[in-house]
């Protein structure tokens, strides 16, 4: 890592200039309105620019070859001094290979790509609007308690279509603010040719997806979020790239490498995608500048790095289990080039943007992943606690209520490396996808279609499901980490899974939407779940348990199915027993004193019939500690 920093200083004048390469590569308008085109294509024999501006002439505008595999072309302005290429003009790079092939490519640095309705391939469209959106609201400060709303713009509407940036700005942002989330994690923004990939097969790394609208509309979305005090993270995919050649990075210069390792190292066997060569100087330029681009051009506030486990190891986590033994994390199986890239990315981001937030999707538990680079860590602020949602799904699939293991649940929620922050979540987009089921679906299934009306008596299934849905989320929120995440729609127990249009469902959008209209109907119980999620977040905002040290668990009683813990001077008491309630129950507290009823933050006490005439109580108390002198 230190060697790379010194090399950047020596060769590029430091990382600040190096990461601004998006201002010199691709297409750049110069002060005199001439256009500079610059690419890196080391294996190419010749490069030409073609497009609407020259009536698609394949040879009239050749690039000049420079050092280190770079190519440049300057287009002087028109006679009226306007740029030679107009805004929204279609372009292509024509690559001539040593084998005599002629390839039509999109610039890896393209800032906008679109696709015609009946076309499969994306087009490179020159984006240089005469009036650009100017963001006026400052970035919010990094919150002490991070509450993330994981969202996908395209599905953020009840209508069966691809929703827009403007729809999200107008209709979804106010809901997120009302719910008490202070951060949004936007998925599937980096352009991807296949919508059903959920944004994980990136084709154009510098282009915001045009299927939702224009770059200016995305800038407005982020600006309005900032005006509400909400940070916006980008779900960034630097772990792999789409294999597409016509509109992706793959074989850009005709070779099987360029941005990637040559096969087999450069191919991911499970994802059917290409893997970056993080040891390459120009790949580092491309990826680090990509992070800088999203921070500067769109004013994102940080990133959730996808597929970090795949990046860290040569085996990519395929067929590998992690027990926590240090030999699994420190050895020849670790991809040092990738690890150093992540250190560089985090160091640069946090140096340039002190309030930047980075989150790692890592299932392996790599030690020091979330410690500062100066300490020998990788520099992430948080890692996703990926074992927690898997545990909840396993419990609901495999165990009866009376067989829930309180000790195992508490262990899963608290099993994290001391001093490394985690984002806890009961479910994310992974559990919402078709093939799996959300917590609400596991709990209530088909009765959600017929028995969620408050105008009819509550059925045992719905009663149990609603209470456990609340308890699971609150227990995860209070005990599971130093941040909390919810996937769009899950806060109100969305009644259906998520399935993008594809051949297998006849290109249907029926399940590629979020039915917010259900929350707006006063007589449906979805509204109650929505209100609970809102109050849970705002209560945390008041007491700050996510920012507090790990909880002190005073009880995990297997017979009584009771869990008790203290955190941030708040006492949490959960009773998961399916048939038994308790009165005068004695629990340990960290702070002595009286805990009067007036100090209850909120109380959930619900009864539900269970198998005949039995009744059971599912309740949890969140109690503010009221010791002498403590408010």
Indicate which residues carry an active-site annotation: 306, 361
d(CA 537, CA 542): 9
Tokens of 626: 């009221």
Nearest alpha carbon to residue 269 among 306, 235, 317 = 317
Strand ranges, E, within 392-506: 422-424, 483-487
- Phi and psi for 507 in degrees, rounded to 5? 60, 35
Task: Please list, in sequence order, all residues whose beta carbon lies within 8 angstroms of the beta carbon of residue 338, skipping any fewer than 6 positions away.
Answer: 278, 311, 312
DSSP 497-551: -B----GGGTT--TTSS--GGGTT-TTBTHHHHHHHHHHHHHHHHHH-STTSPPP
Q: CA quadruple 345, 346, 352, 357: dihedral positive or negative? A: positive
Determine whether 231 is exposed, middle or buried from the number of CB atoms within 10 Å of its CB (0-12, 13-18, 19+): buried
d(CA 277, CA 249): 13
Tokens of 489: 């729609």
Q: For the CA atoms of the chain, what is the radius of gyration? A: 26
- Phi and psi for 337 in degrees, rounded to 5? -60, -45
Return the SS3 of 95.
strand
**533 within 8 A of 473, measured Cβ to Cβ:** yes
Give percent helix, percent strand, percent coil of the chain, each to the nearest 5: 30, 25, 45
Return the SS3 of 117.
coil
Bridge-based pairing of strands 562-567 and 552-557 is antiparallel
């Amino acid at each position: 890592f230190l060697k790379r920093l010194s090399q950047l200083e020596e060769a590029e004048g430091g990382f600040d200039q190096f990461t601004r390469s998006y201002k010199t590569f691709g297409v750049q308008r110069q002060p005199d309105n001439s256009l500079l085109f610059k690419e890196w294509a080391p294996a190419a024999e010749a490069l030409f620019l073609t497009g609407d501006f020259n009536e698609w002439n394949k040879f009239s505008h050749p690039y000049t070859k420079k050092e280190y595999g770079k190519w440049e072309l300057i287009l002087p302005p028109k006679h009226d001094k306007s740029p030679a290429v107009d805004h929204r003009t279609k372009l292509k790079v024509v690559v001539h290979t040593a084998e005599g092939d002629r390839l039509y490519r999109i610039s890896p640095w393209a800032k906008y790509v679109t696709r015609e309705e009946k076309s499969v391939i994306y087009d490179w469209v020159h984006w240089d609007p005469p009036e650009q959106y100017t963001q006026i609201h400052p970035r919010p400060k990094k919150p002490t308690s991070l509450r993330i709303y994981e969202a996908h713009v395209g599905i953020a509407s009840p209508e069966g279509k691809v929703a827009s940036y403007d729809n999200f700005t107008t209709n979804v942002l106010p809901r997120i603010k009302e719910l008490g989330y202070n951060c949004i994690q936007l998925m599937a923004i980096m352009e991807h040719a296949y919508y059903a990939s959920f944004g994980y097969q990136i084709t154009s790394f510098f282009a915001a997806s045009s299927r939702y609208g224009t770059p200016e509309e995305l800038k407005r979305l982020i600006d309005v979020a900032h005006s509400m005090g909400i940070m916006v993270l980008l779900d960034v995919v630097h772990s792999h790239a789409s294999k597409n050649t016509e509109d992706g990075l793959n074989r850009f210069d005709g070779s099987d490498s360029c941005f990637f390792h040559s096969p087999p190292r450069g191919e991911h066997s499970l994802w059917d995608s290409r893997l970056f060569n993080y040891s390459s100087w120009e790949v580092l330029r491309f990826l680090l500048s990509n992070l800088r681009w999203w921070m500067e051009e769109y004013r994102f506030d940080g990133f959730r790095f996808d597929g970090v486990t795949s990046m860290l190891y040569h085996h990519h986590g395929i067929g590998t289990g992690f027990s926590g033994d240090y030999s699994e994390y420190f050895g020849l199986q670790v991809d040092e080039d990738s690890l150093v890239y992540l250190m560089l990315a985090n160091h640069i981001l946090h140096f340039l943007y002190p309030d930047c937030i980075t989150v790692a999707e890592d299932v392996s538990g790599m030690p020091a992943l979330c410690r500062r680079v100066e300490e020998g860590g990788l520099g992430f602020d948080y890692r996703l606690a990926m074992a927690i949602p898997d545990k909840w799904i396993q419990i609901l699939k495999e165990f009866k209520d009376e067989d829930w293991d309180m000790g195992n649940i508490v262990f899963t929620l608290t099993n994290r490396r001391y001093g490394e922050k985690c984002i806890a979540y009961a479910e994310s987009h992974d559990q919402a996808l078709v093939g799996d089921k959300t917590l609400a679906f596991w709990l209530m299934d088909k009765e959600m279609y017929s028995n969620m009306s408050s105008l009819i008596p509550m059925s045992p299934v719905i009663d149990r499901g609603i209470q456990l849905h609340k308890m699971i989320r609150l227990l995860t929120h209070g005990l599971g980490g130093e941040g909390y995440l919810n996937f769009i729609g899950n806060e109100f127990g969305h009644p259906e899974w998520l399935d993008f249009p594809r051949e297998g469902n006849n290109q249907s959008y029926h399940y590629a939407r979020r039915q917010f209209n259900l929350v707006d109907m006063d007589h449906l119980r979805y509204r109650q779940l929505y209100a609970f999620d809102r109050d849970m977040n705002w209560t945390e905002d008041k007491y700050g348990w996510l920012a507090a040290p790990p909880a002190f668990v005073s009880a995990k009683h297997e017979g009584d199915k009771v869990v008790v813990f203290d955190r941030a001077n708040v006492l949490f008491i959960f009773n998961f027993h399916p048939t038994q309630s308790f009165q005068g129950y004695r629990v340990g507290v960290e702070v002595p004193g009286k805990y009067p009823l007036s100090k209850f933050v909120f109380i959930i006490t619900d009864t539900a019939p269970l198998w005949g005439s039995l009744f059971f109580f599912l309740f949890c108390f969140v109690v503010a500690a009221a010791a002498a002198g403590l408010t």
